[in-house]
Amino acid sequence: MKYILLVLLCLTASVMFGQDLIKRPEKKNDSLSFEKKTKPLDPKKKIKNDTIILTIKDYKIISFERDTTYLDTTLTIQKEYKYNYLREDDFELMSFSNIGQAYNELGVDFERVGAYPNLGATAKDRKYLEKEQINYYNVATPMTELFFKTTLEEGQLLDANLAFNTSRRLNFSIGYIGFRSFGKYNDAQVESGNFVTTTNYLSKNGRYALRAHIAAQNITSEENGGLSEKEEQFESGDEDFINRPRVDVYLDDASNKILGKRYYLDHTYKLVRTQLDSTRFEKTSLSIGHTFDYETKYYQFLETANDTLFGEAILSVIDDKAILKTFYNEVNAEFYNKTLGRLTGGVNAYNYDYYFNSRFTQADGTVIPSRLNGTEFGLVGKYEKRIGEFDFQADLKYNISGELAGNLFNASASYAINKNNRLRFSLHTSSRMPNFNYLLYQSEYLNYNWNNSELFDKERASSIKGELLSSTWGNLMVKYSNLDNYTYFAPVSDVAIEDDLENAFLKPLQEGNTVSHLKVKYEKEFKVGMFALNNTVMYQNVTQDTQVLNVPQLVIRNTLYFSSDVFKKAMYLQTGITFKYFSSYNMNGYNPVLGEFYVQNEEELGGYPLLDFFINARIKQTRIYLKAEHFNASFSGYDYYAAPNYPYRDFVIRFGLVWNFFS
């Protein structure tokens, strides 16, 4: 609540003080320009009659990788795809009935971002913002973005962010994502809160740069265990059960929760800096840097009374809690030369403490430890070079001490054939231990206690990818991946599967043979006048000795839409229909105790169409969205599952907006 009040206070102040500052906004080339009467922050800004002309390029968004983009207030079909709870294109995901409940994967990628294992509960933490997802800002004047969208039954989704500065060199942002959705089915409520504040600083002489953020996040979900009478009450289409609260579910007193806090700091100082050349770029520089990252995170499963769905339990009240605390420090040096490129090298230390507040002894006397902790040391390196239209990047993380990590290497090369066509190739290889919940877990449920920290080997992933990015021919991506020691959850009893009790016998397993995965993805849009057809097609093929990796062979999305200026160009309108389809396959099952998906090979799901109708509009800086989701639900058959026993959502109409305003 204190975060919400703080954000609202800042937003209110921004609106109140911003009314007299901006003299005249107008539309120019589908972006914005402002005239502001104030003393210029930058003497090179164009000044007209004591007024600075600001454009949208004065509002910069800086990613974790230091890539800079500008605020985009246009309305495109890609914005339509990203207008959701995750705020990303969910083409390769399949949502459960309630928003944010869980997302099954229609496509997989094995590239690792981090060199160390994560806590786990990967089915529940998609909205948990990692450090690589945090953006930093450099703005000319205060900038606010409000994102709102309705949810299911009670609740709302609001994402508010304010970026501002105290000088041209010191920028801040503060944002809060508040979400709650009651859902259509019993005991499926989901709520989350993400508070993030950032700062970005560059000294006057350009030698010292700093960026930092603080993130406090929580995701809480009620768990109903899925439909207990799916054939009679859901698949039959019985009108008595179209009112979804009448549909029976397995659980009515269970929930899980992810909570985390992170403090991140990254700063550099240039020891050597040569005179800028005529292009305003440095010829040579030498700098030192330091990165600090401290994070605490826990996953908890609660149940007021144990249930036979998960087997026998020690206590009647279930309270399982896995805690992970990590502390990361890195010291590096960076050398840059206009001719030789940019080379970075450093050392890091990673301290981890994964633990439970209990100690478990099995019936045979085997003790399940309560803690995995230690410190690991490694080397890091990075190289970047641009020669004409050719770009090359490579980064390396190599562990020299410790048991969790091995190595992580990425390399990419791209070449601009011309302004409309670009080729890009990339290589990835990594090795590290599986996530902590595969290695060690303790629960009040007897079968959910294991210690594999000395039994499991490091997962080794490697992939090679080629891409053609063309505004003429479309975007084509081909990727081939190999995975050794693939680790997954699966039931270990065939009898239990027949009785729908696979969750009672779930265990982490590791595949000894190599699993190979081929992904081909093609995207192309065709335009005729005001009409357009946007197409995305993905093909996947898995080679494996044991069926441990299940994905659909084909995923398709087609959007036919109309777009035009209306009302004397006061509004830009976009409306159309989106068709999505994926071939049937053995979809992964979902386990609420672990917050994880597991492999099952008994039930094929999929092979059904999903149709959405949308009307979107843009008025100045405001984008308005209205969508009829899955409007074919009532006449195409009730077989639309997102996982065994977990259906996709029924037909629903939702609306919302994204609004940017400036002070």
pLDDT digits (tens, 9 = 90+) for 577-615: 999 999 999 999 999 999 999 999 999 999 999 999 999
pLDDT, position 32: 54
Q: Is 16 exposed, middle or buried (0-12, 13-18, 19+ CB in 10 A)?
A: exposed
Composition of the chain by helix, strand, coil, percent to 5: 10, 55, 35
- Spatial distance between the Cα atoms of 450 and 443, rounded to a whole number of angstroms: 9
Sorted by sequence, the CB contacts under 8 Å of residue 465 that are 6+ apart come out as: 425, 426, 427, 428, 477, 478, 479, 480
Residue 18: phi and psi, rounded to 5, are -85, -15
Mean pLDDT of 613-627: 96
Taking residues 459-481, what's their average pLDDT?
96
pLDDT band at 12 (very low <50, low <70, confident <90, very high): very low
Alpha-helical runs (H) found in 144-286: 230
State what percent of residues in the chain have pLDDT above 70.
90
DSSP per-residue codes, 13-27? HHHHHHTTTB---EE
pLDDT of residue 495: 57
CA 299, chain centre distance (Å): 18
Each residue's pLDDT tens digit, 200-254: 999 998 899 999 999 999 999 999 999 999 999 999 999 999 999 999 999 999 9
Quote the CA–CA distance of 367 and 640 in Å, as a whole number: 44
How high is the pLDDT of residue 499? Answer: 60
* Whole-number pLDDT of residue 16: 37
**How many angstroms separate the CA atoms of 621 and 274, rounded?**
42
Polymer length of the chain: 663
Strand partners, 199: 172, 212
pLDDT above 60 (res 42): no
The pLDDT of 417-429, averaged and rounded, is 95
DSSP one-letter code for 435: P
Q: Measure the CA–CA gap between 185 and 642, rounded to whole angstroms.
A: 14
Kindly state the tokens that stand for 272: 């050597």
How does 403-426 read in b/e, with b if 16+ C-beta sit within 10 Å? ebbbbbbbebebeeeeeeebebeb
pLDDT in tens, 296-342: 999 999 999 999 999 999 999 999 999 999 999 999 999 999 889 99
pLDDT band, residue 387 (cuts 50/70/90): confident
Three-state DSSP class for residue 73 = coil
pLDDT value, residue 358:
82
Comparing C-alpha atoms, which of 336, 325, 349, 331 is closest to residue 284? 336
DSSP string, 533-566: EEEEEEEEEEE-SS------SEEEEEEEEEEEEE
> By mean pLDDT, which of 18-32, 109-123, 125-139 is the weakest?
18-32
Beta strand spans in 50-113 (E) = 51-55, 59-62, 68-70, 93-95, 103-105
**What does the alpha-carbon distance between residue 400 and residue 602 come to, in Å, rounded to a whole number?**
43
3: pLDDT strictly greater than 70: no
Tokens standing for residue 459: 């997962």
The pLDDT, as a whole number, for residue 57 is: 85
**Domain coordinates of the chain in residue numbers?**
2-662
Beta carbons within 8 Å of 282's beta carbon, 6+ residues apart: 273, 274, 276, 336, 338
Q: Residue 549's pLDDT is what?
A: 97
Q: How far apart are CA 323 and CA 124, in angstroms?
A: 15
H or E stretch covering 383: strand 371-387
How large is the average pLDDT for residues 46-71? 80
pLDDT at 640 over 60: yes
Calpha distance 134→174 (Å, rounded): 12
Res. 455: pLDDT tops 70: yes
Q: Which residues pair with 572 in a beta bridge?
A: 565, 618
pLDDT for the residue 389: 85
Structure token digits, residue 82? 């990203």
Amino acid (one-letter) located at 11: L
pLDDT at 410: 97
* Three-state SS letters, 288-330: EEEEEEEEEEEEEEEECCCCHHHCCECCCCEEEEEEEEEEEEE
Which pLDDT belongs to residue 275? 65
Give the model's pLDDT for residue 573. 97
Percentage of residues in the chain having pLDDT higher than 90: 81
Q: Is residue 174 within 8 Å of residue 194, measured between CB atoms?
A: no
Q: What is the mean pLDDT of the chain?
A: 90
Determine the residue type at 406: G
Backbone torsion region of residue 370, taken as left when φ is above 0, otherwise alpha when ψ lies between -120 and 50, otherwise beta: alpha
Whether residue 8 has pLDDT greater than 90: no
pLDDT band for 279, please (50, 70, 90 cuts).
low
d(Cα 14, Cα 584) in Å, to the nearest integer? 50
For residue 23, give the nearest of 59, 56, 65, 51 by alpha carbon.
Answer: 51
Backbone angles phi, psi at 415, to 5 degrees: -140, 130
CB 641 within 8 A of CB 587: yes
The structure tokens listed for 634 are 């009532």
Is-above-0.85 flag for pTM? yes
Structure tokens given for 214: 């603080």
Strands (E), 182-305: 190-202, 208-223, 254-273, 284-303
**Short-list 596, 504, 593, CA closest to 309:** 504
For domain 2-662, is the CATH number 2.40.170.20? yes
